[in-house]
Structure 1
Amino acid sequence: MPIMRAAYTSSFNAEDPLAALTVGERPEPTHPESDWVTVRVRASSLNHHDLWSLRGVGLSADQLPMILGCDAAGVDPDGNEVVVFPVVPDRADPRGMSILSEHFQGTLAESVAVPRANLVPKPAELSFTDVACLPTAWLTAYRMLTTKGRVDEAEAVLVQGAGGGVATAAVRLGVALGKRVYATSRDAGKRERIAALGATAVEPGARLPERVGVVIETVGAATFEHSLKSAAAGARIVVSGATSGHEPVLNLRRVFAMQLEILGTSMGTPEELAELLALCVRRDIRPVVDEVVPFSRVANAFARLASGDVFGKVVVDHTA
């Protein structure tokens, strides 16, 4: 059986997820359905989902070993340069779908198998490093702003907890779409980098000079009260994460008095990914990249993500 290099988990470690990471050889991917194809991966990027997998969240022991990674770009069997949409049909999942590295092997390998319908053409104007950042974090941010947040109806946006992949993408996209963007961070260095992206950087909980039409919320309990207080009448608070806790105190009187919409979302669709790619070309947007790491040092990429000091995406170059 042909083998390939891959980064995977064959055990779980809730306290020290990096200790559960293995870099070694795995079999080349197989096709569970006739419409699946193999993509030779050129670049991938990490998400906190990968660290949660190493901790054992969302995986069971009988699924191991599992190749990690949701995001990838590469070359399909016909030689086309493609971006991989990471959500695949899954009859075994109650949702009817799953993300690569949940029930099907992930992208942190030389090759990944996906349905052909999950392949989105890569624009020539964007590098493999650029597009490898987009399918999870950037697509989530794009959907939060556009499909869910209806940002075209707003003048100003608040992004909570900028620095991570989704929040930083939301800052970059919001500015590119011509909106006044406010973004919070506890870290003074990250606030400087947020300002360099064209946003107004503020400390968490700070009073804004105006109320906003869209709030991008990935932090949860620690920031949700501030999100409510910062929202203008009729604003949309769009939630795709809760890194500080998922049970915030919620002032329902403010919700109904201000006629606020609280909307949940995750990921997006292949069509939205194609829209995002086109927007990046049209507006000359490039993802915020914290570091590009060769696959030979993929363990360093995981350590960088786990450090908490990341600003933007950590990308793995599979050609190095």
Structure 2
Amino acid sequence: MLAAFVSSPSPDDPLSVLEVGDRPAPEARDGWVVVDVKAASLNHHDLFSLRGVGLPAERMPMTLGCDAAGTDADGNEVLVHAVITGTPGWSGDETLDPKRSLLSELHQGTLAEQVLVPARNVLPKPAELSFAEAACLPTAWLTAYRMLFTKAGLQPGQTVLVQGASGGVATALVALGRAAGYRMWVTGRSEEKRAAALALGADQAFESGARLPERVDAVMETVGKATWSHSVKSLKPGGVIVTSGATTGFDPSAELNRIFFTQLRVEGSTMGTRTELQQLVQLCATTGLRPQIDVELPLADAREGFERMHEGRTNGKIVFTV
């Protein structure tokens, strides 16, 4: 079957090890089902995988991808939850399972014509959502949903700063926050990205690192080292940073003096639960809220999508169709 995969990592030149070609088709086994993929979306996780982050060489070759929507063996339209528990008998929040993994870490991923997943990781796809729209939800949008509604502890009318205006999680945060009645501010490196965020529903957009007109109640962080200091300085006393990624580096100065003196909270957030994904899907189906898709490409042209993400040329989600 056709797939986008990696056979050996390259920390410095990730696109050089991306392969698009033939991979063995999966076979169903007890408790696991095969999904025929109709659409799959790209995430920064896939670029990290090409670099070997969280994916050692001994697990390769590995089909990339966490997100997918498609059909099961009975023809039902479904989407795939990417978080797979690893502890036998685990119950409760699967993101807290110390042995959890995402698709494409221990198990072959979704950027393929078919993917094998645990039966509990398959959810019905509402007819209101296209396959491409549904494929955007399980990673970027689920991450944003958990950050805003589970971790941040906000009330409608409060102000949220989103660092980085154009990525999949950032655009999801703006759309979800706007729908929930938050005042959504964003930062962006270019006028084009800031304008796109405003068109999506952001209340104000600022240059990266700019001094804000007032401090905010919460900052949503996925950028990391390049924006961390600005995030800490932008918060009101008692405010919260919710961090779910660090695309520019994992090791900023913590600025502990500001954190303890102004009593800030730092909340880590990783993906989301199956229940949260169900809630997100229902929210989109009933309200008309939809992911912003930057571009749809055939899976055979996956390299173009990876190049766009690697170069920062995105305004929403990149989706591969099968």
Distance 1:278 1:209 in 2: 36
The C-alpha deviation readout for 1:18-47, integer Å capped at 9, x for no partner, is 22122222111134x611111111100011
> Which residue of the other structure, out of 196, 209, 214, is the alignment partner of 2:213?
209
Which residue identity is paired with 2:12? E
Distance 2:255 2:299 in 1: 47
Q: Is 168-177 or 56-65 further displaced after alignment? A: 56-65
> Which residue of the other structure, out of 6, 9, 13, is the alignment partner of 1:16?
13
Aligned pairs (5 A) from 1:33-52? 34-52=30-48
Q: Secondary structure at the match of 1:236?
A: strand
Distance 2:164 2:146 in 1: 18
Is contact 2:171-2:200 (8 Å) kept? no
Residues 1:233 and 1:299: Cα distance change in structure 2 (over 3 Å): same
> Which residue of the other structure, out of 170, 178, 182, is the alignment partner of 2:185?
182
Query: What is aligned with 2:106?
Result: 103
Per the TM alignment, residue 225 of structure 1 is displaced from its structure 2 partner at its CA by: 2.1
Distance 2:303 2:247 in 1: 23
Any gaps of 5 or more consecutive residues in structure 2? 89-96
Distance 2:121 2:284 in 1: 19
Which residue identity is paired with 2:181? G
Which residue identity is paired with 1:54? L
Distance 1:42 1:151 in 2: 36
Query: What is aligned with 2:56?
Result: 60
Residues 1:43 and 1:257: Cα distance change in structure 2 (over 3 Å): same
> Which residue of the other structure, out of 148, 151, 175, is the alignment partner of 1:148?
151
> Which residue of the other structure, out of 311, 316, 319, is the alignment partner of 1:312?
316
Any gaps of 5 or more consecutive residues in structure 1? none
Query: What is aligned with 1:167?
Result: 170
Is contact 1:129-1:317 (8 Å) kept? yes
Query: What is aligned with 1:138?
Result: 141
Q: Secondary structure at the match of 1:129?
A: helix
**Equivalent residue pairs, number:** 313
Residues 1:104 and 1:290: Cα distance change in structure 2 (over 3 Å): same
Query: What is aligned with 2:22?
Result: 25
Is contact 2:156-2:181 (8 Å) kept? no
Q: Secondary structure at the match of 1:243?
A: coil
* TM-score (normalizing by structure 2): 0.92
Distance 2:44 2:221 in 1: 16
Q: Secondary structure at the match of 2:9?
A: coil
Query: What is aligned with 1:266?
Result: 270
Tell me the percent identity: 54
- 1:232 equivalenced with 2:240 (yes/no): no
Which residue identity is paired with 1:156? T
Is contact 1:72-1:83 (8 Å) kept? yes
Query: What is aligned with 2:126?
Result: 123
Distance 1:284 1:150 in 2: 24
> Which residue of the other structure, out of 243, 247, 250, is the alignment partner of 2:251?
247
Which residue identity is paired with 1:168? T
- 1:78 equivalenced with 2:74 (yes/no): yes
Q: Secondary structure at the match of 2:115?
A: strand
Query: What is aligned with 2:94?
Result: none
Which residue identity is paired with 2:104? S
The C-alpha deviation readout for 1:72-113, integer Å capped at 9, x for no partner, is 001112221111000112359x92111101110000111111
Residues 1:152 and 1:279: Cα distance change in structure 2 (over 3 Å): farther
Per the TM alignment, residue 122 of structure 1 is displaced from its structure 2 partner at its CA by: 1.0
Is contact 1:240-1:266 (8 Å) kept? yes
Per the TM alignment, residue 307 of structure 1 is displaced from its structure 2 partner at its CA by: 2.0
Per the TM alignment, residue 296 of structure 1 is displaced from its structure 2 partner at its CA by: 2.5
Which residue identity is paired with 1:316? F
The C-alpha deviation readout for 1:202-249, integer Å capped at 9, x for no partner, is 012222233222210111222222212221232221011122222222
Distance 2:66 2:212 in 1: 35
